[in-house]
Amino acid sequence: MRIGFDAKRAFHNTTGLGNYSRDLIRILSEYFSGEEYYLYNTKPKKVDRLDMTKFTERLPEGKFWKKFSSIWRQGAIVNQIKKDNIDLYHGLSGEIPRNLKSKGIKSVVTIHDLIFVRYPKLYSFFDRKIHFNKFKYAAHNADRVIAISEQTKKDIVSFLKVDSSKIDVIYQGCHAVFKQQVSQEQIKQVKEKYNLPDQFIFNVGTIEERKNLLSIVKAIKDIDIVLVVAGRKTNYFDTVQEYIVEHKLENKILFLGGVDLQELATIYQIAKIFIYPSIFEGFGIPIIEALYSKTPVITSKGGVFPEAGGPNSIYVEPYNINELQQEINTLLNNDEKRKEIAEKGYTFVQKFNDEAIANSIMNLYKQIV
């Protein structure tokens, strides 16, 4: 089978959608090496994290489409997909090109979340309209829709008016680096490079309002612990920084930049607790990464979080500072409980292993084709 992928995020995004794209493409090529994989990219790659000996990359043909690659990705790409004799095209980030069906090309689309509908204030009017129209078109015109969680499936049915029978929930996993035990030498190097303390709690994710970093900062104000944060800064960082300065917490919050995957995996494994009080997620990959790292997780109640965190992670109301503070204190002061939660979380997270995901995806492809 020849399978085509929208690879824009795989080659140009280092976080959520990029990680999903790369991991899915990678595990399919590992478990189903007999298939042919074509990666459709808008322009020369910025992110080089795939073994390209396993894939065929396709860029826009002709000067015009190279210059207007965003338009190419929405429609003209179909001519190249047809020329490559692709059996099935997978839109990995909520979009598919127009007119795939008229060219006889089967398709599937992955929808991660509909946060722009649930939390419209986080997006501009035009971004909301553009996202909604693209996602609705893809969901109604693809042969099947993959939702990355039951929560996302419910939202697709509710907001995009898609029949639930057309939607398959296939969870996503995480990069293999988070599943490997790091060495003492790696720990020593990372601690020295980033000047990490012996004990700290950890948060990963874009520093934006929805991720709710400020709640963690407020919760540790009176706790003798350092918070380490790895994530891209947005305007919301200024709000967090203002609180830090106002309460003289500069020595308790450590912001890291330029952390590579191996370093990130190391930091996960040496953190005392991973805290993720996000308001809403389509899934929450950092939770999975922490569980594979055998680090206990405190995250938000409701939504998708119990799907990702399992029955033994700790759940709090994301804006309840006292509750979050209490749970942090409880875990920091109870080594036995931390160890128990970590071990049970590690057992739970095996359901997101690569082989299970690869089989689910390939079985769906074969059903469609």
- Amino acid sitting at position 157: V
- How far does Cα 80 stand from its chain's mean position? 29
pLDDT on residue 328? 98
With contact defined as beta carbons under 8 Å apart, do 338 and 295 qualify? no
pLDDT at residue number 271: 98
Residue spans of alpha helices (H) in 195-271: 213-219, 236-246, 261-270
Q: Which pLDDT score is estimated for 49?
A: 82
Task: Please report where in the chains the tokens 């099947």 appear, as a residue.
Answer: 144
d(CA 41, CA 48): 13
Amino acid at 189: Q
Q: Using CA atoms, how far apart are residues 114 and 135, in angstroms rounded to an integer?
A: 9
Are residues 29 and 21 in contact, defined by beta-carbon separation less than 8 angstroms? Answer: no
Domain at 176-351, CATH from 3.40.50.1980, 3.40.50.2000, 3.40.50.720, 3.30.460.80: 3.40.50.2000
The reported pLDDT for the residue numbered 80 is 96
- Give yes or no for a contact between 87 and 369, defined as CB atoms under 8 angstroms apart: yes
365: enclosing H helix or E strand? helix 354-368
Q: Which fold has domain 2-173+353-368?
A: Rossmann fold (3.40.50)
Q: Which amino acid is at 299?
A: T
- Rounded to two decimals, the pTM is 0.87
- pLDDT attached to residue 221: 96
d(CA 332, CA 328): 6
Query: How many other β-carbons are positioned within 10 Å of the β-carbon of residue 96?
Result: 26
DSSP structural state of residue 181: P
Q: What is the DSSP letter of 76?
A: I
Strand partners, 91: 109
List average pLDDT for each run of 10 residues in the chain, which is 369 residues long: 96 86 94 97 88 93 91 93 97 95 96 92 90 96 96 96 97 90 96 96 95 98 97 95 97 94 96 96 92 98 94 97 98 96 97 94 97
What is the number of residues in the chain?
369
What are the domain boundaries of the chain?
2-173+353-368, 176-351
pLDDT of residue 123: 87
Q: Please tell me what DSSP assigns to residue 72.
A: I
Question: How many angstroms separate the CA atoms of 283 and 297, rounded?
Answer: 15
How confident is the model at residue 14, as a pLDDT?
Answer: 79
Q: Do domains 2-173+353-368 and 176-351 have the same CATH topology?
A: yes
